Each structure stands twice: as C-alpha cells, then as structure tokens.
C-alpha cells in the first residue's frame, strides 16, 4: 500500500510540473492575459484568463511555430497539423491537431474559460505542443465555423503567445 501511495504522489508532482503558462499579447505588443496549459485525459486543458479583447465568440488554435511577430502573427504559421488533415472539429477529413472549440469574451472584454485541445499532447510525440521547438497559441477575431479549410473562416489573428518548454 505504501508503494502505491508513493507512486500516486510522484505522478501528481509530475503532472503539476507539466503546467505551462503562456503570455498572450495583441498586435501592439500589449498583454491580453494568460493561458495555463496542463495535461487532460484527452489532449491539453487551456485555462484562459483574458482581458481587453473584443466581445463575442472567438476561435483559438494551436499554430505550428513558436513565433508571434505582430501585427498579423503570420510567423506562427498555419494550424499545428502533423497528420496533414483538413481543418475543423466537424470536418469528416479533419481535424488539425491544433483545432479546438471556440470561447466567448464578455461585454467587458474579459474571458475566464477552459477549453480543451483534444488533438495535442504535452509529451514527446508528434502531437506535442513542444514539437520542433514549440508552437503558438493564437486567438482569432471571429468564431471558427468548425469545418472550412484551412482556418474555419475565423478572421484575423488578434493575439498570440508562444508555447515552449521552460
């Protein structure tokens, strides 16, 4: 019994050590808040604590490169897509690994929500958010339609933060 308890305790420490905090900035380089990433049963939990964003529904994706140069954040590349699938959680030929549900920003410009990125991991595999030196978390100006390729008609990239190992 003591061995089982010690093992469970060890795993709890290991899981908490895998939490990664991402600073998100807008096109002017100003902070719009943070995202805390942690392993989920299926994918990665992304706990958002955001401010100073336009109200309404927004897309959020994991993008392929750990680069967030404004104003357009095109340096983040396309959606993280190691399996070369089509975009969208509702696309029969998809989704990209970096696709996830939309989230909503309140009228005061804030959002406190947790979304799950089901297609990525925090491990050492091809679906890891740490692949090839890291990835980026990108917020778009509009909601993702969950099916249009390549980006769900989500509009411009309005905030970005790099995801790398500490």
Q: What percent of the chain has pLDDT over 70?
A: 88
Is residue 87 assigned to a domain? Answer: yes
In this prediction, residue 91 has a pLDDT band, given cuts at 50, 70 and 90, of confident
Output the domain CATH number for residue 137: 2.60.40.200
How many domains does the chain divide into? 1
> For 129, left (φ over 0), alpha (ψ -120 to 50), or beta?
alpha
Cβ-in-10-Å burial (0-12, 13-18, 19+) of 74 comes to middle
Is residue 15 assigned to a domain? Answer: no
Is residue 104 assigned to a domain? Answer: yes
Is residue 78 assigned to a domain? Answer: yes
In this prediction, residue 83 has a pLDDT band, given cuts at 50, 70 and 90, of confident
Give residue-wise pLDDT tens across range 14-63: 344 489 999 999 999 999 999 999 999 899 999 999 999 999 999 999 99
Range of the domain at 102: 20-163
Tell me what pLDDT residue 88 has. Answer: 74
Q: Average of pLDDT values for 147-158? A: 82
Phi then psi dihedrals of residue 14, to 5 deg: -60, -45
């Amino acid at each position: 019994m003591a061995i089982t308890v010690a093992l469970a305790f060890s795993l709890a420490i290991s899981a908490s050590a895998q939490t990664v905090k991402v600073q998100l900035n807008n096109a002017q380089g100003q902070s719009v808040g943070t995202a805390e990433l942690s392993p989920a049963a299926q994918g990665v939990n992304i706990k958002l604590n955001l401010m100073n964003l336009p109200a309404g529904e927004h897309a959020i994706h994991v993008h392929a490169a750990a680069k967030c140069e404004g104003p357009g954040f095109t340096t983040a590349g396309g959606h993280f897509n190691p399996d070369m699938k089509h975009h969208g959680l509702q696309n029969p030929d998809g989704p990209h690994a970096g696709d996830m549900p939309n989230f909503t920003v309140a009228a005061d410009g804030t959002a406190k929500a947790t979304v799950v990125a089901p297609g990525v991991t925090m491990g050492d595999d091809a679906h890891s958010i740490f692949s090839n030196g890291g990835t980026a978390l990108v917020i778009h100006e509009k909601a993702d339609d969950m099916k249009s390729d390549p980006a769900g008609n989500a509009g411009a990239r309005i905030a970005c933060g790099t995801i790398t190992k500490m």
